[in-house]
Amino acid sequence: MTEGGGFWANHKRRNTLVSATCAVVLLAAVVALFIAFRPGADDDRRMVPPPTSAAIPPGVSLIAQVTGPQVAVYETPGAPAPIKTLENPWLLNGAVDKPVPQVFLVEEQRQDGWVHVLLAERPNGSTGWIRQSDVNIIQNPYHVEVNLGAHEIKVLQGTAEIYKGEVAIGAPSTPTPTGKSYIRVLLETPDPTSVYGPFAYGLSGYSDVLTQFNGGDGEIGLHGHNDASVLGKSVTAGCIRMDNEQISKLAKMLPLGTPVGITS
């Protein structure tokens, strides 16, 4: 993540590891506690199986959880060969002791066994196709909306707003990119009084101007703060800072794969 700007699933069975990194970009050399969650596993408070025939309820998205050790990504449905193969889990900053479940935000689920998904790569908004047989598809009622012009974040459960508050966003020279992304990793910081606050989510989106930041490659993050006076201002390297108490609550709610929409 870029600063200035997750792992998720069963809170009761979370795996906390020592020494992780992140920054606007995965808080590199700053975050020491790493939390990996199996999104939705044994947790029907947040995640329920997708409907078999009825339309997906308003405000609900689908998350594709990779079930095997890797997943092939294709440019088009039925293509003869994949354009890439992604490992499951993927390794945070390449560290073998920090595995992260591979999940995707589903864009479209077809009846012929193909799933269109958002990818965590440049350029932002990149997509690909995966086989439904390679994933477990689950409903997620939560989504996050960030309005840069209003310096405001909203968290919704279905169509119901469950939180709204001020955020700090990217400075004019390092703006927070707009568009749709999703939560990839959750990190718990060793020092909740640091610039990252108590928790930091790493998102699938990247900075449009920074290709490197504190050892990472410019991923955007959503995290807490060490100075509440910055909320409502444009001061970060691209990440989004929010209220510490509220992100601590979200860390117990939002699964990997939760969509984050950022508008101007």
The model's pLDDT over 36-73, given as tens digits with 9 standing for 90+, comes to 543 443 344 345 555 544 578 999 999 999 999 999 99
Q: What is the DSSP letter of 56?
A: P
Q: Is the pLDDT score of 161 beyond 60?
A: yes
Establish if 177 belongs to a structural domain. Answer: yes
Residue where a domain terminates, one of 69, 104, 139: 139
For 190-234, write each residue's pLDDT tens digit.
899 999 999 999 999 999 998 766 656 789 999 999 999 999 999
Strands 90-91 and 99-100, sheet pairing: antiparallel
Dump pLDDT digits (tens) for 106-139.
999 999 999 999 999 999 999 999 999 999 999 9
| φ, ψ for residue 160, nearest 5 deg | -95, 125
d(CA 137, CA 67): 10
Say whether pLDDT at 7 is over 50.
Answer: no
Q: Is the pLDDT of residue 10 over 90?
A: no
Question: Are residues 25 and 89 located together in one domain of the fold?
Answer: no
Instruction: Tell whether 161 and 173 lie within a shared domain.
Output: yes
CATH number assigned to the domain comprising residue 67: 2.30.30.40
Give which of 198, 197, 182, 186 is closest to 236, Cα–Cα: 197
Long-range CB contacts for residues 108-114, cutoff 8 Å, separation at least 24: 109/50, 109/62, 109/137, 110/77, 112/77, 114/77, 114/78
Domain identity same for 173 and 250:
yes
The structure tokens 């955007």 sit at 220
What is the CB neighbour count within 10 angstroms for residue 60?
18
Confidence class for position 151, pLDDT limits 50, 70, 90: very high
Asked whether residue 31 falls in the same domain as residue 150, the answer is yes
Whether residue 15 lies inside any domain: the answer is yes
CATH code of 251's domain? 2.40.440.10
Range(s) of the domain holding residue 120: 61-139
DSSP 254: P
Q: Average of pLDDT values for 1-22?
A: 34
In the chain, how many domains are there? 2
For residues 98 and 96, what is the distance between their CA atoms, to the nearest angstrom?
Answer: 5
- 69 assigned to some structural domain: yes
